[in-house]
Every structure is written in structure tokens, then in C-alpha cells.
Structure 1
Amino acid sequence: MVSHTITGQNEGEEVPVIDLSLLGNGHDSESMYAQVRKACEEWGCFVVVNHGVKEDIIHQMDSSTRDAFALPKETRQRNIFQRRNVSHIADLPAMPFYESFGVPGAPDPDAIQKFSDQLWPQGNPQICKIIEQYTSAVEQLTINIITVISKSFGITEYYESQFWDLLRLNYYDIPPNKTGGVSPHADHDFIKAWSNGRVWNGIHRVIMEECKPPRVSLPYFYYFSDEVVINAPPELVDENHPRLYKPFKPPEFRAFYGDISYKRYQKSETFLSDTAPPFIDMFALITTE
């Protein structure tokens, strides 16, 4: 159980809680849009309740994730982390006792099968079924959230075809008297540039001591497609909000931050840092001289 009363940057603040069951309920949904916009501008995150993802599917996905990490290490590392291949991440000094698998393209059955074949060459139809059920549900939730965010800022057009999916299976196995997790970072989904700086892209981290059983988390990312030009919609640019970022395509940005990030993750002191480079501002912020 995760508490919704999470302390904010200032004493007494809590992460906003958004009830998605209000979507489409007239006055209540308008109030929800206002709450979402405020959360995006001031926090860059919010807790969602009544999200529609069934509890049994979540539990099955958790159990299947643990099965994957129970495989022998040599099996898990068939697709080890490299600069241009982040399907499997492990043994990074900046992320002690953290290991992760990626399933790019889920819930597409072919993408899920490709992931499964890497770990279970003999076949594992059960885990394929569970991943497809889970990611189908979470993809719909993601679409709902993006739609709500867009409407909260008055965006009139939204195209689902602009995005691609990535499920990440995270596993934290912290031994006694040790501390581990993930170093400070901001997720690289470009939404800060897309929103013309209106959405806060918060720096976050994972840090914990011994955890038994190991902790599992299942972040689901919805990235802009490579061919999309990241450029703020006209609704978000006016005389009070001049354009802050130059247009760019995702591969250009990934090439910029990829090598810098890789070098940071090879340093153990990165885990203890309290900051992370403002990559999007470094790359695309329009400056006047």
C-alpha cells in the first residue's frame, strides 16, 4: 500500500490526488481539469485514484516480474545494458542494487513475444498474456491522463499515433546494511518542451535501505515517436508565454543526453547527488544574447 500523503517541497504540502472517475461528469470534470493543470504546473506529478486498472492484473504482473528476476543471472544478462541498448540495465555504479528490463512496444503482442523469447527461449505464453493484459490497461490509462492534461491546458488536438510505449520492470534487492536505488533524474519524455515550460519536469529518485522481499515497480512510459517534431502547440504560446524551446525531433535530443547520462551512471557518487543536469534546457532552450 502506498500512502497518498506524501510530503511536498514545503511543509504541509501533499502530492495532488486526481480521481479519474470524475472524467465526463460535467462540473466535477471541469474541477478535475483545474486540479490537473495546477498539479502539472506546480508539481509535475500527481497520484491517480480510480484509475480502472484491475487489482488482479496488477498482482499478476508483480508476480511475473519477480519470476523474471528469479532467473539465473547469465540468463537475465543476455541483453545487457549498452549505450544504445537499454532493454536490460544492471550493475551501474550510480544505481546500486537496481536491475531493470524494458519491453518496448508493449502491448503489441509481437513486441512482448520478442521480450519473452530473450528470457524464455522455450516459450512462456503465460507471461506474454499477463504483460499484454497489464500494458493494454495501462496504455488506456495513459491515454486518458494525457487527454486530461491536454484539455486542462486548452489543447484542442491530440493524436495517439504520435507516441510509442515502453514498459519497464524494475527490481530493487537491497542487502542488509546497504542503501540502493536510482540516482536523481528527470524523465526524458519532452513534455516540458512540448508544454512551453508550463509543465514542471520534476527531478526524482529512488533511495532505500534493505528491503525484503525485494521491491518491484512497473513504470510505463509513453514517448513521442521519432518522426514527431516537438514544438509547443499554439494554445500554449502567447505574449505572456513566449516560445521557450526550439523545435526538435526526439532522436536529436537522445543523441545529446545519451553520452552524458552514460558517463554519469558509471560514477558511484552520482547516486548520492541531489541534482541532475537540466538536459532539455541545455539542449533546446531558446536564449537571447
Structure 2
Amino acid sequence: MDNPKLQKLPVINFGQENLQYGTKSWSLARNEVRHALEECGCFLAVYDAVSFNLRDSVFSALEKLFDLPVETKKKNTSDRLFFGYLSDHRDSAIRESVEIENATDIEEVKKFSKLKWPQGNDDNFSGIIHEYANLIAKLEQVVTRMVFESYGVEKLKCDSHIDSITYLLLLNSYEAPGLQRMDTRLARIDDHLGITPPQGGADEDDD
């Protein structure tokens, strides 16, 4: 197989018609997913369910989060190694990272938000992040279902697997000369596989 780094990554459209289980469009997308993962290990997803308005809202929320005082951000703690709030990643362009465990659960996101904005002035941070996490989780579940189905795994086993998944939303802030960049990553806590939106960055010129 050719070096994946030298290949153009496959692009797969996850429009509404491809998300309808059992349709011809679903089957075609399923075959594309399997081929892409077998050949390249990844692919770019076109996923219009995350609107431009929502994406802009997410990055506005991230700016608000990373602009908080360090002591406030450090309140996000975890018993898990490398979870919680991290800064100054060694040998990495990541400046800061914050994780929200169980990000598809609105109550868990509200707990996180209350730690950061105890007065409640979070500008709907909870609602924005929860909506975004659930949309990305839905895409991850569709891909998982397609992979299971393509290898002949029975639907009940796939359903059981998907029901057992909990999600971690990883929020990153990067820094390079003259550039600040942010992105998000939704990971499955069980094995840390995840989805990174292909246009998950907001560039800002430093003043």
C-alpha cells in the first residue's frame, strides 16, 4: 500500500440521505468508510449537521473559556492521568487543553460550566457545547455502525457497543508565532478514538 501521507485523504459525504439506515445511500457510504479506513486509516467527513452558525458559536465559547484566569481553568480536575486542565504541553504546539467528560450529558456539561462561571454568566456555553458534542457523537455512532455492519457483525451487538460508549470532549488551544488556533476533538473514553472536525480551527492575528 502507498504511504497514506502521500495520498489524498478520502472525502465522505454524511448528508441526511447517507444517515438513513438501510438505504442505498447508506450502503454506498458504508462501503466508502470501510475502504477509507482499510486503505488510509482515516477520512475527511462532510457533515452539514454542524452548521456554520453552530461552529462559530463553538469557537466563541472556546475563546471565552480559554480567556478565563488560569486558576479558574485549573478547577477542572480529574483522577484520570492527563485529564482535566493541562498547559505547556512538552514537544507540542498545544498551549492549553481542557476535557469535558460525558460531554453528551447536559448535566455534566452544566457542572463543568458552573465551575468556570459560578455566577451563571456563561453565555449559553453549556447549551452550545452539549449540542455540538451530541452532533459529533451521532456521526461517530453512524461510522461505528457502518464499520460493524460492513464486517457482518449483528445489529444487536453493535447496538450494545454503542450504548456502552461515553464521550470526552477535548478542547485545545494552539500557539505558534503570530498565530493562535483552537480546535475540538470528541473522543470515546473507553479507547480514546475520536473525531476531529476537518475545519476545527479559528485563526486569530495577535495584536
Q: TM-score range by the shorter chain?
A: 0.7 to 0.9
Is 2:148 aligned against 1:150? yes
Q: 1:27 to 1:72 in 2, by over 3 A?
A: same
Instruction: Report deviation, 1:41.
Output: 1.3
Amino acid at match of 1:19: N
Residues 69-108 of structure 1 mapped to structure 2, 5 A cutoff? 69-79=66-76, 84=81, 86-108=83-105
Work out the CA distance in 2 between the residues paired with 1:147 and 1:51.
19
Q: 1:125 to 1:28 in 2, by over 3 A?
A: closer
Residues 181-192 of structure 1 mapped to structure 2, 5 A cutoff? none
Instruction: Report deviation, 1:112.
Output: 0.5
Q: Which residue of 1 aligns with 2:63?
A: 66
Instruction: Report deviation, 1:143.
Output: 1.4
Work out the CA distance in 1 between the residues paired with 2:94 and 2:141.
32
Q: 1:80 to 1:18 in 2, by over 3 A?
A: same
- C-alpha offsets along residues 2-50 of structure 1, whole Å, 9 cap, x if unaligned? xxxxx9433xx21111112352474443332222111111211111113
Contact 2:93 2:175 (8 Å CA) reproduced? no
Amino acid at match of 2:172: N
User: What root-mean-square deviation, in Å, do the aligned CA atoms of Structure 1 and Structure 2 show?
Assistant: 2.4
- C-alpha offsets along residues 62-120 of structure 1, whole Å, 9 cap, x if unaligned? 11001111112232233468863511111232324521111101121221012112211
Q: Which residue of 2 aligns with 1:215?
A: 181
Q: Which residue of 2 aligns with 1:44?
A: 41
SS across alignment from 2:169:
strand
If you compute each CA radius of gyration, which structure gives the higher value, 1 or 2?
Answer: 1
SS across alignment from 1:107:
coil
Residues 1-289 of structure 1 mapped to structure 2, 5 A cutoff? 8-10=4-6, 13-21=7-15, 22-23=17-18, 24=20, 26-79=23-76, 84=81, 86-123=83-120, 124=122, 126-156=124-154, 157-158=157-158, 159=160, 160-174=162-176, 176=177, 210-211=178-179, 214-224=180-190
Amino acid at match of 2:185: P
SS across alignment from 2:124:
helix
Contact 2:88 2:94 (8 Å CA) reproduced? yes
Amino acid at match of 1:40: L
Contact 1:80 1:89 (8 Å CA) reproduced? no
Q: 1:85 to 1:27 in 2, by over 3 A?
A: closer
Contact 2:34 2:147 (8 Å CA) reproduced? yes
Instruction: Report deviation, 1:145.
Output: 1.7
Contact 2:77 2:85 (8 Å CA) reproduced? yes
Structure 1 spans left out of the alignment, 5+ residues: 1-6, 177-209, 225-249, 251-289
Contact 2:100 2:169 (8 Å CA) reproduced? yes
Q: TM-score, normalised by structure 1?
A: 0.56
Structure 2 spans left out of the alignment, 5+ residues: 192-207
Work out the CA distance in 1 between the residues paired with 2:58 and 2:136.
12
SS across alignment from 1:62:
helix
Contact 1:52 1:141 (8 Å CA) reproduced? no
Q: 1:82 to 1:106 in 2, by over 3 A?
A: closer
- C-alpha offsets along residues 113-163 of structure 1, whole Å, 9 cap, x if unaligned? 121122112222611111121112222222112112222222223122211
- C-alpha offsets along residues 238-289 of structure 1, whole Å, 9 cap, x if unaligned? xxxxxxxxxxxx7xxxxxxxxxxxxxxxxxxxxxxxxxxxxxxxxxxxxxxx
Q: 1:171 to 1:47 in 2, by over 3 A?
A: same
Q: Which residue of 2 aligns with 1:256?
A: none
Q: TM-score, normalised by structure 2?
A: 0.77
Identity %: 25
